[in-house]
Structure 1
Amino acid sequence: MKTLLLLRHAKSSWSDPSRVDHDRELNRRGEKAAPFMGRFLREHDLIPDLIWCSTAARAVQTLGLLGRDFAGHADVIYSEDLYMASERTLLECLHHTHDEAKRVMIIGHNSGIENFAKALYRDGDDAARAMMERKYPTCALAHFEFDVENWADTQFETGRMMGFTKVKELQAAKIGAD
């Protein structure tokens, strides 16, 4: 059994139009969102063994803001190939993942992350799938499980969707609990 977590980077800034897209950093909203997602992942025992992360500034910054558990606990592979990657490229990265990693996270960009999640879906949480198909916002997380021993055996339409989590809902739940 393998677990895959697909995280879209947190909200980025458009304040400097001269900045190259790859170098855009998070805005204040994004800086606040990533720690919420990190807390959710810790509370639900979803700390990955290995993280594939785009080299774009906003993806690297998102990873850093998830919390110390992530950079310290997991192996991290920074890959320029993940910057604006297609679903085919994301699947190839997954196929190159060492099989000792049981839980893997990919931090990337739309439309690739969203299209990859849609392409992986075989069955599972239909409500989560419907929510994901309506909108895959920044810092949202799709959670899949695969009945495979080797990452190379993952294919499109073989994933069981376990959930889809949006930071906006996590923040609203915290405000409601306070």
Structure 2
Amino acid sequence: MPLRLILMRHAKSSWGDPLQEDIDRPLTARGQRNALSMGHWLKERGYIPDHALVSSATRTQQTYDQVCHALGTEPENTLLEALYLASDGCLLRALHRTRGQTVLLIAHNPGIGDFAARFPDKAPDHRKCGSYPTCATTVYELGCEDWRDATWGKNRILDFATPKEIEAGRH
């Protein structure tokens, strides 16, 4: 079975406390709902991760928790400070050190959007893939058999969705 990557931007987070550190911002009620929706979507389509790489930010951890709740399972996970506001190159380096057949990676823009643009073998045909809105999710089938060999431009997009589409029943 080929390696799969589930690339997810964290769900909508709160800006309600101007004194709160960015890394500590929690999800809004909409963000909680969106993350659950994306978890249900993953489960319905059979995209079940066996490992997760999650940024150390509160909003990414809460996104992960909601996704796991919807999946009905909690894959082994690794919290990484290096994923907080990471560049696309940093995200790729984190993948090189991962394990598992299907990996969920939850991180932040702009790095995750840049990653989503560079990782596939051909440009995505979805208009929202370029901006990578909150909780956007892309599922890739890798063009290699070992995470250490993952690279740009060699991976097939299997699926892409946003919570807005899922919740409106358009996907």
**TM superposition score category, shorter chain reference:** over 0.9
Q: Would you say the 8 A contact 1:52–1:106 is kept in 2? A: yes
Q: Which residue of 2 aligns with 1:157?
A: 153
Greater helix content: 1
1:111 pairs with 2:110: yes
Q: Which deviates more, 160-169 or 16-25?
A: 160-169
Q: How many Å apart are 1:73 and its aligned residue?
A: 4.0
Code of the aligned partner of 2:156: R
1:104-153 CA distances to partner (integer Å, 9 max, x unpaired)? 110000011110111112137x423x4312x2110110111113110001
Query: Which residue does the alignment assign to 2:141?
Result: 145
| Structure 1, unaligned runs of 5 or more | none
1:74 is matched with 75
Does 1:14 pair with 2:15? yes
Q: C-alpha separation between the residues in 2 aligned to 1:78 and 1:123?
A: 30
Q: How many residues align?
A: 169
* Alpha-carbon separation, structure 2, partners of 1:14 and 1:73: 28
From 126, 129, 133, the equivalent of 1:132 is: 129
Structure-2 residue corresponding to 1:123: 122
After superposition, the C-alpha distances for 1:156-176 in whole angstroms (9 at most, x for unaligned) are: 1111112210000111118xx
Q: Pairwise CA RMSD of aligned residues?
A: 1.6
Measured at CA, do residues 35 and 60 of structure 1 come closer, stay the same or move farther in structure 2, by a change above 3 Å? same
Separation in 2 of the partners of 1:136 and 1:19?
Answer: 24
Whether the 8 Å CA contact 1:48–1:70 is kept in 2: the answer is: no
**AA paired with 1:154?**
A
How far, CA to CA, are the matches of 1:162 and 1:123 in structure 2? 12
Q: Give me the whole-angstrom Cα distance separating, in 1, the residues matched to 2:159 and 2:36.
A: 19
Q: Identity rate of aligned residues, in percent?
A: 37
Query: In 2, Cα distance between the equivalents of 1:60 and 1:147?
Result: 28
What residue in structure 2 maps to residue 97 of structure 1? 98
Task: Provide TM-score, normalisation by structure 2.
Answer: 0.93
Query: SS in structure 1 opposite 2:94?
Result: helix
Cα distance in 2, alignment partners of residues 61 and 69 from structure 1: 13
Contact 2:40-2:70 within 8 A present in 1 as well: no
The AA in structure 2 aligned to 1:127 is D
One-letter code aligned to 1:76: N
When residues 67 and 17 of structure 1 are mapped into structure 2, their CA distance, relative to the original with a 3 A threshold, is same
Pairing partner for 2:166 from 152, 167, 170: 170
